[in-house]
Structure formats: structure tokens, C-alpha cells
Amino acid sequence: SPGEPQAPFFLPPPRWPVECEVIQDRIEHIEWVPPKPEPFCPPMGPEQALYTLGEEQGTVVYHSSPALQGSCFIHARVGGAPGPLSSPAAPLEGPQDTTLLFESRFESGNLQKAIKVGPYEYVLVLRPDLYTAKHTQWFYFRVQNTRQEPLYRFTIANMAKPKSLYGQGLRPLLYSQQDSQSRGIGWRRVGTDIHYCRGSAGEPALFRLSWTVRFPHDGDTCFFAACYPYTYSDLQRYLRALVADPVRSRYCTVQALCRSLAGNTVYLLTITSPGGTAGKRAVVASARVHPGESGGSWAMRGFLDFLLSAHADAQLLRRLFVFKVVPMLNPDGVVVGNSRCSLAGRDPNRAYGMELPGSFPGVWHLQAMVRRVLAEREVVLYCDFHGHSRKNNVFMYGCDAGGDGAGTWLRQRVFPLMLSKNAPDKFSFSSCKFQVQKSKEGTGRVSMWRLGVSHSYTLEVAFSGSTLGGRSSHFSVEDLKSLGRLLCDTLLDFCDPAPAKLQQCLVEADALLQRQMGREPGSGGSWSDVSPSELESSTSGSDSSVCDG
């Protein structure tokens, strides 16, 4: 229990499906905050198809595709495929050969093929989520043998979504090993002439992301990524330091919620002040059910950093609440570099109602844990941390009851409204949605609400950044981590025994809803004849709306 000494903490290496080859290189990146916000890329005008040579006119210089045994996951082991590694990259012909050397057979890596179609131009193909033929969005790969002078063009030829923030100024991330070692510079936004457009004419349609870039050094080792990577090993290093800390480990225990299909541990953190839990309400938080949404992990990291700190507000939160936190619900997907699915080949955030612990152990055991907590105490809030590829800023999805009228509708909006006041340059209340669509019944947010958690939310963090408060710039790692602290601040406001803040937000939410319905605020109109679907468009929804049936 919290406050008691813990046994030595053993963190086994990640387990991979046996079809996956894994290089032995230790991949770690430094954390770095750019000295000033990184602006969005200027828009390139109407999105139009770029003429880019295909594989038939080029040379395959990298091809790594797991030899999947059938169509479903069978077995996993530490280190992935046994035996010697293959050589997916074409060998260089000599020191004058400027061909880039690609690699992605490391944790969270995703690149299936690279085709050289010009001296400094490459067409790239992402690997679909394992045991599926779709969900290509996340990318993370390494390039070596760089040259500083030429302008390179990269085109990812099989992106899955018809709309993307790359069409609104989002830029890819680059990490230079030389810059990290000599100048302390980490991940940064790069890319010019960025295009996102339809590529193939067939069905299902595929889309192309193209950008140009110059590398900072000759002979460098660089990485590209869709968002700041946060791997399963990153989480394990964080937990190892936490458990070894004699102060923080007094009020935080780390346990195994369950094992994933591959046998990786799904960790559960219980955070509260020592001395008993009687009379305390609970707060439940989770992240990374979708492995390609790594921004959610950085927001979760900030949430944990603040909650485990010596700050007076953090101490108060630990005295008031029992926090149950699952920081990585889908470790297998994170390990193998999936965008959306687990090794079951399905989206686990549509599986909460399926009662299939053998196929979706993380979400099943999370739901079972919440049921047990609800039998003991009130759960005042559930928050599931996600990333979003099509909308800027940070926002929430909640749950309108539909039967209790204005009182419930307004209360559902109070927490997001408070968060928008605490984070005015990041959080967009106008982007929040509260309708419970039939296609979302299997999500964590709706399932926890159905269990009896009256305030159950999905926190959506844009892959890009903020357009609020005079900003038009990308989120840094520090921006993402600050969201966790701001969520804690908002929780204290939300549960403040003095009613002033709550009443103010209820009045403001009522006025906003009245305007949304075309009414004059303060006119006294009844809500009894208004349905939740009338309050917002039925087409608004999570990041999955486009690609998931």
C-alpha cells in the first residue's frame, strides 16, 4: 500500500512479436526546448498532387517487412526475431556514394520501404499496423550518410487520412545526433515546401506527405518523426527513477495492472498521501491506448511530474484524492511502432464493451479496476490522454446525458471550460464536443461514464500546436508537459468547496449554449425540448472518424 517499502523494481526489456527484427542499438534522445516557439510552415496554397516518381522508376534502398506468420499475433520474445539480422538497406558502393542509409527496426520505429527516385529524392512507404492493412500515420525512422549541402525531398506515399494538419502548417520533426552531442539540441521542426494531397486513384485512397529539408551536417545520424517519440523503454526508465526515489515512492506505488498480448507489463500507479484513504475520492487517468499519439504520453508525463512534486498544490491533491494512473495502455503497439492498434489488429479504444480480456487485456483490466474503485469511493474524474492529427490546439470530448437537460449538460462543460481559462494559449473550449455517438460506445470515455463516472473525458492534444493567444506555433515538449500541470490546477478549481468558480462557469456555459442555439443569453428559454444532437454537429468526433467504421 502507499507509504510502505517496495521490493526491488525489475523492468524486463520489451517483448516483440517473433516476426519483428530488432537492431541492438540503444536509441535515446535528449529533451530540449527550443529558445523560441517554432512557427507553422507557411501554407503552400491549394493541395495538389505532386509528380513524384514511383518504385518502378527508382531503386529500392531499404525494405523491411516482417514475415507475418498468418494474419494474427502468435508469439513474442525479448529481442524479437531469433537468429542473425537481415540487411534491408542497400550497401554503399564507396565513400562517394551519397545514398542515405535508412533504418527503423527499433522501438516505435515505422518505415517499411525507401525508394531512391533521384540523387536526393526518396519515396517512403510506412508499414501498416501489424496484422492489419491500414492505419498508416505515425512515422519514426533513422537516416545516416547525410550531406549538408543538397536539398533533399522525402515523400511518404501511403498516409491513410484524407485530412491532416500537414495541410495547415504542421512540420515533421528532425533529430541530429551530432547537434545533440555537441550543442545540446534535440528534436526540432524542419521542412519546407510541405504538401499533403491525394496520391493514388484506387480504393482505399492513399495520401502523400512531401517535404524538403537540408541536413545540418555531413555524415550525421538523424531521425525523423511525426511527433516527439515516447517509447515503452522511456516509460520504464521514468518508473525506475520514481521507485528508486525515497521521497516520491512514499506516496506512489507501481504495480502491474496486467500483461499485454506480447507479455509486456501494463503499469498501474497509485498516488496518494500516506496514512490511509478513508473519505478520499478517486481520479483515474490513462494514456497511449493509441500508440501513434505520443503527445499524450508527454502530457501524462507532465501530469505525473507535478502530482509527484513537492508543490503545495500537489500535496493538497494527494491529501484529497487517490489517483489511479495507467500511463501506457497499449505497450505492444508502442513497441512495434503502430499508429492505432494493438497486436490484436484492432483499435483497443473501441473494445471496452467487448468483454474480451484475452484480446484486449489493457482496456479490460482498466475497466475492471475502475469498477472495483467505484465500489469503494466516488470517481470524480476520468481522463484519457490522446493526440489529434486533424485539429489544432488542445480540447476535450465529454459525455452528454441526454435525459437530465440543462443541469447535466452544463456540468459536463464546466471542467473543460475551467481548463480553457487556465490554459488560454493552448486549450480551445469551442473545439470541445460532448455528444455520445453510437460509434464511440466502445471508447474509454463513454464506457467509464456508463459505469458511473459522471465526468469522463478524452483529452485531445494536437500533433501540431496552438493558434490561440496570439500563437501560431508548434507545441514543444515543455508545452505538452505543462498540460499535465494545468490539468491538476483545474482539478483543484473543479473540486473547490467554495462554489464561486463553479457557479461562474455554469453561468458562462449556459450563455455559450444559448448563443449556440441562436438564443439570447438570459432569455430564460427552456432546455427540455433540446436534444444533445442539436447542440453540435453529428460529424464532429474523435480522430478516428475518417478511417474507422
* pLDDT tens per residue across all 549 residues of the chain: 443 434 446 788 999 999 999 999 999 999 999 999 999 998 775 555 555 556 677 999 999 987 665 688 999 999 999 989 999 988 999 999 999 999 999 999 999 999 999 999 999 999 999 999 889 999 999 999 999 999 999 999 999 998 999 999 999 999 999 999 999 999 999 999 999 998 876 777 899 999 999 999 999 999 999 999 999 999 999 999 999 999 999 999 999 999 999 999 999 999 999 988 899 999 999 999 999 999 999 999 999 999 999 999 999 999 999 999 999 999 999 999 999 999 999 999 998 888 888 889 999 999 999 999 999 999 999 999 999 999 999 999 999 865 555 667 788 999 999 999 999 999 999 999 998 887 788 898 999 999 999 999 999 999 999 999 989 999 999 999 999 999 999 999 999 998 888 899 889 888 888 887 776 666 555 555 556 566 565 334 566 544 432
Give the C-alpha separation, 358 to 477, whole Å: 35
Q: Which three cell numbers stand for residue 279?
A: 473519505
Amino acid 57: pLDDT: 79
| Catalytic option among 460, 478, 508, 534 | 460
Per-residue pLDDT at 535:
59
- In the chain the domains, ranked by start, together with CATH numbers, are 19-43+52-226 (2.60.40.3120), 232-517 (3.40.630.10)
Do 252 and 327 meet the contact criterion of CB atoms below 8 Å apart?
A: no
3-state secondary structure of 198: strand
Q: Among this protein's residues, is 508 annotated catalytic?
A: no
Note the pLDDT of residue 7.
Answer: 47
At 205 the pLDDT is 86
Distance CA 318, CA 312 (A): 10
Q: Where are the beta strands (DSSP E) in 261-342?
A: 265-271, 281-287, 321-326
Q: What is the pTM of this model?
A: 0.93
Taking phi first (over 0 means left), then psi (-120 to 50 degrees means alpha), and beta for anything else, what does residue 485 get? Answer: alpha
Q: What is the largest CA-CA distance in the chain?
A: 79
pLDDT of residue 542: 60
- What is the b/e burial string over 231-261, where b = at least 16 CB atoms within 10 angstroms of the residue's CB? bbbbbbebbeebbeeeebbebbbbeebbebb
pLDDT at 318: 97
